[in-house]
Amino acid sequence: MTSIRRSRESVVRRAFRASSSDLSLRVVRGASFAAAGMIVRIGITLMSMAILARLLSPADFGHVVMANVVTELAFVFSSFGLGEIIIQRKRLTRLQLDTVWWTSLAIGAVLTVLVACASFLSAALFANPVSGELLRVLCLVFLLDQLTVVPNSLLSRLLMFRQLFVVQIAMLVSRAASAIALALWGAGVWSLVWAAVIGSLAQLLVCTWLAGFRPRWRFTAAFLMSTWRTNGSYFSSGLLFYLSMNMDLAMVGRTLGAASLGYFQAARGLADDISARIAVPLQRVLFPAFSSIQDDMARFRFGVIRSGRLLALVTIPVGFGIAAVAEELVNILYGAQWLPMIALLKIIAPAAGLRAATTVSRPVFQAMNQVALSLKLSLASTLLLAFLLIAASPWGLQGFALAYVANSLFMLVILAVSARLVGIGIRELCEALAPPLVAAMLMYAAVIAVRWQIEATGLGAGLRFVVFTLTGIFVYCLSISLIARRHLGDVRDVISRILAK
């Protein structure tokens, strides 16, 4: 027990100065844990969703999405980049960590009260009183999440991804298990709400224990004042990200109602899981890794282009694959009451895969301390999305889905700008993205061709899903082996490093 306590206490001391020693091995380890977390997260999410979709109605999910539009706005006001500053800075002091902890506590407490008060106004926004009732419980999540900022950032700064993996699993399992248990008990929409609170509490307890950080009664306003420009940029970027991710939800909920919003969010959420479950964990590995080598541009550039190739190799085919088997996927996971989301999934999923492949740009902007430039690009993306949503609104759910696709293409521009910061040109980006895209399109065409051949055989949804999935994997792997030798070299190198550790 004493050795465990000393190990946890050493986390804080080692975090005072970022180190790039053994960086390659640590990044590979981090990527392996990120991949494991991705697989577990996807598995838990899909299994719990398959159960909850049959226990709850589309309207139940729609009510929660309406409440989340408000909570995610509140999360913007917690996004002052305090955690990112802990990760990005070359040197830290214990006083600065204490300052960030007390500041996060204050932000969490204020937001909890504000969201509870704002819950009484949410009924007017969506013409739906249920969302307000849900918000009066969901507001607790803000306090819990803010208390996790410092310990989570310490673990990320030190590339302690094994510990972060444990934190993630604890949160996922507690949230999924509590949601299913409450739904079986008959709690209805409240099962989703209390599960969110329970998951955040589990995350806080496990993360705090592993990091071993205990705040002291110390605070320095000078440190906060020295970071106000960076904080403002993170806040503005967070606000724009909120608008880009919630404008379509607000318009669908307001104009088409809770049930339609449930279908739309289920389709977009399943497709966006490509980003949230695959790309975002990799971002958490890359940001601290890039930050530790920000002065070594050659290593930085190599890391960015290799990360981009590997990310595209995985996310793009997943997006096209979801679209190819959308009919079977919805029937298996969600059931007959969710069939209207099939058409939406076919539109959104390929764009989500391509969008996820561009997320390597975010850790580049962060590590290079170019948050202001990222803010300008996010503003352009948000304005474009607003125009697209207005133009597409007469076409209902399909129109909103097409607006999502068009806005996703703009992410390629943002990726190109971030690449230029480290000297990567358009040709190198095309060499990273084009082979997986071409192979994914061939895979999609092969699945459609097989579908035509077996359409009249009467196979069930489960067997069709297996046939289509195996066909897609075979065609994609064959295509990649012929047209993406460099990508395969990256995979072999990563696997060899994982096995060698």
3 state SS of 91: strand
Give the lowest-confidence range in 63-67, 94-98, 181-185: 63-67
Confidence of residue 333 (pLDDT cuts 50, 70, 90): confident
More confident residue, 386 or 493: 386
Residue 317 in this model has a pLDDT that exceeds 50? yes
Interacting residues of 444 by C-beta distance below 8 A, sequence separation 6+: 320, 321, 323, 324, 350, 472
Q: What pTM does this model have?
A: 0.65
Residue 143 in this model has a pLDDT that exceeds 70? yes
d(CA 133, CA 116) in angstroms, rounded, equals 9
Residue 159 in this model has a pLDDT that exceeds 60? yes
Give residue for tokens 């995985």.
Answer: 314
3 state SS of 17: strand
What is the mean pLDDT of the segment spanning 31-60? 78
Residue 243 in this model has a pLDDT that exceeds 80? no
Confidence of residue 288 (pLDDT cuts 50, 70, 90): very low
Give residue for tokens 């509590």.
Answer: 178
More confident residue, 239 or 83: 83
DSSP character string of 37-84: HHHHHHHHHHHHHHHHHHHS-HHHHHHHHHHHHHHHHHHHTT-SSHHH
Q: What is the pLDDT of residues 177-236, one digit of tens each?
A: 999 999 999 999 999 999 999 999 999 999 999 888 888 888 877 777 766 666 555 666
Confidence of residue 1 (pLDDT cuts 50, 70, 90): very low
Residue 471 in this model has a pLDDT that exceeds 90? yes
